Structure 1
C-alpha cells in the first residue's frame, strides 16, 4: 500500500468515526426526546387521574355537607315550630289566638273598671 492509499484509508476511517459520533449524538437527542415525551404523557395521565380523584372527593364532601345542612335545617325548623306551638304562635291559629287574647284583655279591662267603680 502506498502512502497516499494509507492517508486515504485513514481519512475514510476518520470520516466514518466522525459520522458515527454525529449519529450517536443524534441518537442520544432522539432518545431524550422520546423519554421526555413518555414522561410528559405519564405525568399528564397521572395529573388527570389525580384531578379526577380530587373532583370525586369534592363531590362526596359536597354531598355530605348538603345532607348535614339539610338535617340541621330541618332540626332547627322543627325546634322553631315546637317553640311557636308552645307559645301559641302557630301560623294556622295566629288570628284566632289574637282574637282570644283581645277578648281576655277586654274582659280584664271590664273587670278592672267594675272594681274601680265599686270603690
Structure 2
C-alpha cells in the first residue's frame, strides 16, 4: 500500500465517520420528532378528555340549575296564588290607603250620625 492509498483510505474513513455523525444527528432529530409527536398526541387526548369531562359537568350543573329555577318558579306561582286569594295582588299601597281612608270617613260619618240621633 502506497502512501497515497493510505491517505485515500484515511480520507474515506473520515468521510464514512462524518457520514455516520450526520446520520446519528439525523436519527436524533427524527427520534425527537417522534417523541414530540407522541407527547403531542397524548396531551391532545388528555385535553380532549378534560374538555369532555367539563362538558359533562356543565350538563349536570345545567340540569340542576334548571330544576332549581323550575322549583323557584313553582314557589313563586304558589306565592302569587296565595297573594291573589288574600287580595294582596290587586291594589297598590296608594289604592289601599285611599280605600281605607274612605272606609274611615264612612265610619266617622256613621258614628257622627248615631251620636246626633241620640
Normalising by structure 2, we get a TM-score of 0.73
Structure 1 range deviating more: 38-47 or 8-17: 38-47
Q: CA RMSD in A?
A: 2.7
Look up the match of 2:64.
Answer: 64
Look up the match of 2:36.
Answer: 36
Q: Is 1:112 the equivalent of 2:116?
A: no
Deviations 1:58-87 (A, max 9, x none): 1110110110121122123213422442x2
Look up the match of 1:21.
Answer: 21
Q: Is 1:10 the equivalent of 2:20?
A: no
Q: 1:23 & 1:73 partners in 2: Cα distance?
A: 73
Deviations 1:30-84 (A, max 9, x none): 1111211221122122212211210121111011011012112212321342244
Gaps of 5+ in 1: 95-100
Count of residue pairs brought into register by the alignment: 109
Aligned 1:74-113 pairs, distance under 5 A: 74-85=74-85, 87-89=86-88, 105=103, 111-112=110-111
Structure 1 range deviating more: 20-29 or 32-41: 32-41
Superposition deviation, residue 113 in structure 1 = 5.2
> Which SS does the other structure have where 1:19 is aligned?
helix
